[in-house]
Amino acid sequence: MADQPARWAPVAKASGWLALAACCAAGLVWGQGSPLPGSQPSIYTCIDPQGRRITSDRPIAECMGSGQRELGPGGNLKRIMPPVLTATERARETERLREETARQARLAEEQRKQRALVARYPDQAAHGKARAEAVAQFDALIAAVHKRQGELDKQQREIAAELEFYQQDPAKAPVWLRKLSEENARQRQSQADYLAEQQRARQQTLQNFDDELARLRELWKQEGR
């Protein structure tokens, strides 16, 4: 009988492992239904869409769309749970973010242009020089148009003198002379339109330089120039 404890040792050892496993399984099942001993349960609180304050020991379904707070046992804030957005709300938020991104991009582009403007015109003298050069280009174009108009007016007078011979019967005027008269009229109208266009562009350019100078004065002031 002296060797009996040795024969039963494996059985006792196996029984011990089975007992431990059973205790762990029971603990897992129990832990799913209630907090483990010594744990600190959370408190959830919120204001529902009807304005009622709700408090619970688990996340509050009525406040899923408005957000809620998770507190510790002592009332300390553990975290803020943001609202769960609906599909419509997500789409609206996406659009808001898109618009904000576009606004930030426009702001960054405007700031880039302002830096470039100040770099191009560090002072009023530089800006005034550029303004004078731009105006001079328009004045040269306008002078060229006036010169061409003078040439066409002279040609028109010469054509009119030739057509006087056929004023009793204009149909007898040579075809080449009638075509020359028509082409002269077309070119004089074209030059008049071009002159008006260049005069408008000159005026707009002057206005642009004036507006630009006003912006530059503010930027120079900000930089202490």
9 domain-assigned: no
> What is the rounded average pLDDT for all residues in the chain?
84
Name the most confidently modeled range: 11-25, 43-57, 177-191.
Answer: 177-191
14 domain-assigned: no
Range of the domain at 212: 123-222
212 domain-assigned: yes
How many contiguous H segments (helices) and E segments (strands) does the chain have? 4, 4
What are 55's strand-pairing partners?
45
Q: Cα separation of 55 and 130, whole Å?
A: 71
Better-scored residue on pLDDT, 35 or 58:
58
Answer yes or no: is pLDDT of 122 > 70. Answer: yes
* HEC string for 170-181: HHHCCHHHHHHH
Number of structural domains, the chain?
Answer: 3
Residue range 126-136, pLDDT digits in tens: 999 999 999 99
Q: At a CB cut-off of 8 Å and minimum separation 6, what does 165 contact? A: 173
Query: CB-side exposure of 68: number of CA atoms within 13 Å?
Result: 26
Is residue 115 located within the same domain as residue 146? no
pLDDT at 65: 81
Better-scored residue on pLDDT, 156 or 26:
156
Provide mean pLDDT across the span 18-30.
35
Asked if residue 103 lies in contact with residue 170, where contact means CB atoms within 8 angstroms, the answer is no
Is residue 135 located within the same domain as residue 216? yes
**Residue 138: other Cβ atoms inside 10 A:** 16
Is residue 192 located within the same domain as residue 108? no
Provide mean pLDDT across the span 161-174.
90
Name the most confidently modeled range: 34-38, 63-67, 214-218.
Answer: 214-218
Q: Please, which pLDDT band fits residue 112 given cuts at 50, 70 and 90?
A: very high
Q: Please, which pLDDT band fits residue 160 given cuts at 50, 70 and 90?
A: very high
Is residue 217 located within the same domain as residue 128? yes
pLDDT at 170: 86
Q: Cα separation of 116 and 200, whole Å?
A: 27
Is residue 130 located within the same domain as residue 218? yes
Is residue 139 located within the same domain as residue 216? yes
31 domain-assigned: no
Answer yes or no: is pLDDT of 28 > 50. Answer: no
Nearest in space to 64 (alpha carbons), one of 94, 79, 78, 44: 44
13 domain-assigned: no
Q: Please, which pLDDT band fits residue 40 given cuts at 50, 70 and 90?
A: confident
pLDDT at 219: 94
61: which 2 tokens? 């379904």
156 domain-assigned: yes
